Structure 1
Amino acid sequence: MDLEQLHSRLEWLDEERRKDRTILVSLEERLKGVAGELTHLQAQLKAMEDSLAAPSSLAERLTQFEQTLAQQRIESGRQVAELEKQVEALRTTEATHYAELDGVRKSIAQQLRKSLDARSLRHELQARVEEEERLQRELVELKQKVEAIAQAQEEMGRTQQVIEEGQRQGTARLTDLQGDILATRKRLDSVRETITLNTDAMRRLESRLNELLASEAERRQAQTEFLENQARWQVERERIWKEWEQHFEALTRQSGELEAQLRAWEVAQRAVKRAQETYEEILQKFERRIHEMVEMQRLAEDRARQEWAAFRAEDQKRWANYTLAQEETLNDLRSEIERLETRLAAVEDLAQTQQDILLQTKEANEQMLHALLAQIHDLLSAYERILGVIQPGHQAT
């Protein structure tokens, strides 16, 4: 391998290094893009977690979230696989470059060996020159040979100059090659650092994906617990609603019974009022009858006093007849009064019975109203306790 081929090979290595650098830059951009997508995914996760606070359309949002997360997971896996393939290609390219550098080193060693052969040739030429000088001193008489030897010496000098010039050029090229080798080593070091950074970025990306999967598992667990709590609360609400329906049905039945009792009480009250009115009418009739009887008694007494003097003059028989007639009249009046008093006592007993019925009905209605108010108070207390249980649950959610 000559120097031109070595130079072309070095140029090709530089071109490959530039391509590798371009690939590394694109990989860094891809890593930045993946980081941006992860940031966007975190923002979407935060937005979806905020939207989960609202209970409406929860199933649809959870489905959309799982679909989005699955797409992001597939995209992240695909990007990670592509990055792994590119890193593997970079490693293969690096191994190829190392092999080519070994070939370059071997070529440089061969050129160095050739340079050492040129030095030994120069020493041999010097020995020949000395030998020719010795022969020139010995063969002074051979002028033609001396001239030929002089020409040969001149040619050998020119050849030596050409060889020395080639040696200087080889030394310069060797220096350039050493500089190129140092630059190539620096580039390889930078490529190693870039690969190390890419490997660290991949590890960070894997750790971030693991954290994301862990957070997703925690979110699923929290979601499952939330749904279980909602199911338990729904069962509790249905049970309480059934109890309320039963209480409302009991209240409806009691209200119907109370209305029936109120209607019966109104009927009884109207009957009592009618009885009271009848009693008052009877009392008024009794009073009028008593007044009439008193007036009749007064008139009779007046008449008796007016006729008393005449009656005293009459004989004993008429007085006796009159006395008997008065006694019969008084007996009739007394019997009529007793009969009226009996009827009045019966009416008073009936009125007292009606009053007792009214009082019992009133007490029963008051007890029923108190029981109804107590049931309503218990229902309100149970409703407030239920609201107190449900509202802390919603606040915790």
Structure 2
Amino acid sequence: MSVPFLKGIEANETESTTTNKKVAGDMNIKIKYNLRKRKHTDEEDDKEKNATSSSSKQSRTNQTESKKQSTALVERTRRRQTKPRNSVSIANVSSPQDDFAKLFLKKLDIIANINIGINSSILHGICVTNDNLIWVNYSTNHVKLFDSAGNILRSVDLEQTTVFNCCTPNGDLLFTQGYANGARAEVIMVPREGHPRRLADLSSYAKNLCGLLCQEEMIYIVCHGTAPLKYFVIKLDMEGEVKETYRASPKNVNINHIISHYGRLYVMGTNNSSMFPLENDKISTKDKANKVSLWNTYSASACVDNHGNVLIGSESTICLLDPSLQRLHKIQTDISGSIRSTAVDHRDQLWIGTNEGNLYAAHYISI
């Protein structure tokens, strides 16, 4: 309805009655509407039937739009009813129209390939300190500390093979030996300054120690034991004392890594990168948290970036799960070798280690 027409209605109202001038707020709008319709001349009748008249007007003016919305709602409901409730495959999730995919590059932008002269060394673990320094594990009993530009700050030779790692709040390195030859169920600390030392001997609890994580002054370690407690998680304090054991329930699953996603801890399934939460003093294996099935991935390479996305290596491809763990985007790369470790620093720079000993720094976000 045009503005001139409304003004004309107001003029007619002034000429026809003075009573309407005394009515304020919403009642004035209702009376104007009734005068336009010329259905009643009695003011009391107007008050009684105004709600019905207003609803009728809104229905007529929005009839076309309502039909469209109704059709769209029916279609959305039909899609929800026909959509499978179980996990979907990578091929069914990735889509160029997905808004999530637009946040990332289609192909990794490699900034640097850092060659430090160690040949035939698998880069099993990468972690980032709170002040944005990068610890890197090499399978040749060696670790290095880099700054964010790739400059070496410290090199340490060790007696043990280094596999999984994490950083303490003050920037020291913790590592375990996984399933390496001669591996022992020990947690080793490499300080930023000083000599390496054994933080904890867990050989009375487990045969092998895998992924580990430090959160809220506690250390969580994925353990491999013997039946019936084959896979479980041990919590240590910062002095290496055992505080709690998390057992899998209702079923035991093969796990080897642990990550923190918005402060909640998840263990990673070894074979398909399924994510199982630590909750209520147990590893809940009834249902996996991620709604996207991941196959042909290396779960030990998983990390969480600064935006809540989960990154996992799949051969030479980076797979990203969105913060809801329901959508996926894949980034192709030109790196040499299969991805064995990933970490994102505080400048959104992605660090990648491969089975051929290559260390890469790269951009992966498009904006």
| TM-score normalised according to structure 1 size | 0.15
Give the strand-richer structure, 1 or 2: 2
Give the helix-richer structure, 1 or 2: 1
Higher relative contact order (CA 8 A, sep 6+): 1
* Pair member with larger Rg: 1
| TM-score normalised according to structure 2 size | 0.16
